[in-house]
Amino acid sequence: DAGITQSPRHKVTETGTPVTLRCHQTENHRYMYWYRQDPGHGLRLIHYSYGVKDTDKGEVSDGYSVSRSKTEDFLLTLESATSSQTSVYFCAISETVNEQFFGPGTRLTVL
């Protein structure tokens, strides 16, 4: 299995607070992604990174920001959490076009 960890694995927070989720990889893959998964929507891309300090928006980027200061770490920040951001968040990495490897996920609840 690809070495991907996410932290925290579970988080409960209140509306209006900032939240940062961390994705850490040990595979030295170039590409990293943040997805959210909600019932009825499958996986939707929030942001992605194609190198250190190189990031771009995905399908559902409003309310989220990312940073990648090192190859191994990709941070997702909810600037001011809202209840609509309650979701399961998955980080993924890839080096080729064929396959993405997913982390274990973070379950976020915004009250």
Which of 19, 48 has the CB closer to another protein? Answer: 48
Secondary structure element (H or E) that encloses residue 48, with its range: strand 42-51
Q: What is the token pair recorded at 92? A: 């993924």
Task: Examine residue 28 and tell whether it contacts another protein (CB under 8 A).
Answer: no
Judged by CB under 8 A, does residue 14 bind another protein? Answer: no
Q: Does 64 bind another protein (CB under 8 A)?
A: no
Q: Left if phi > 0, otherwise alpha if psi is -120 to 50, otherwise beta: which for 41?
A: alpha
Asked if 94 interacts with another protein (CB under 8 A), we say yes
**Which amino acid is located at 94 in the chain?**
S
Does residue 33 touch another protein according to CB under 8 A?
A: yes
The amino acid occupying position 9 is R
Q: Is 102 in the site for another protein (CB under 8 A)?
A: yes
Interface residue with another protein, options 34, 36, 48, 85 (CB under 8 A): 48
Q: Where do we find the tokens 């609840």?
A: 109
45: phi then psi, degrees, rounded to nearest 5: -75, 130
User: Nearest distance from residue 69's CB to another protein, in Å?
Assistant: 18
List contacts with another protein (CB under 8 A): 31, 33, 35, 40-45, 48, 50, 54, 56, 58-59, 90, 94, 96-105
